[in-house]
Amino acid sequence: MFATPAMAQTAQPAAGGGGLEGLLAGPLPMLIALMVLFYFLMIRPQQRRMKQHQQMVAGLKRGDTVVLSSGVIGKVSKVEDKEIAVEIAQGVNVKVVRAMISEVRARGEPAPANDAKS
């Protein structure tokens, strides 16, 4: 009842603009290029930093001076599998999860396990 002759006609597809050819020539290569750029600028450097951090934490030994993620500086007094005991003041030891160590400042010489404190 309200249909006009203009609405009843079907539109003719534009030459070369429809179908798979239009997708391959337009947004698909741009999307792929954007994904590659995102990988090289964001994901790859983050993976490299994470790998360096894991190596740093795995190489911790007794006597190393470390900075925790909270900014507390201390000396490693005991190394366990998942936790590390850090001496933040004389006689004050704190257990810290390995992942919370953000920096190793100075590598110390490993002390004997049963040394006498003086």
By three-state DSSP, how is residue 47 classified? helix
User: Alpha helices, DSSP H only, in 1-118?
Assistant: 5-8, 19-25, 27-38, 44-58
Task: Give the tens place of pLDDT for each residue, 65-94.
Answer: 999 999 999 999 999 989 999 999 999 999
- Regarding pTM above 0.75, the answer is no
From first to last of the 118 residues of the chain, give the pLDDT tens digit: 666 665 555 555 555 455 667 667 778 888 899 999 999 999 999 999 999 999 999 999 999 999 999 999 999 999 998 999 999 999 999 999 999 999 998 775 555 565 555 5
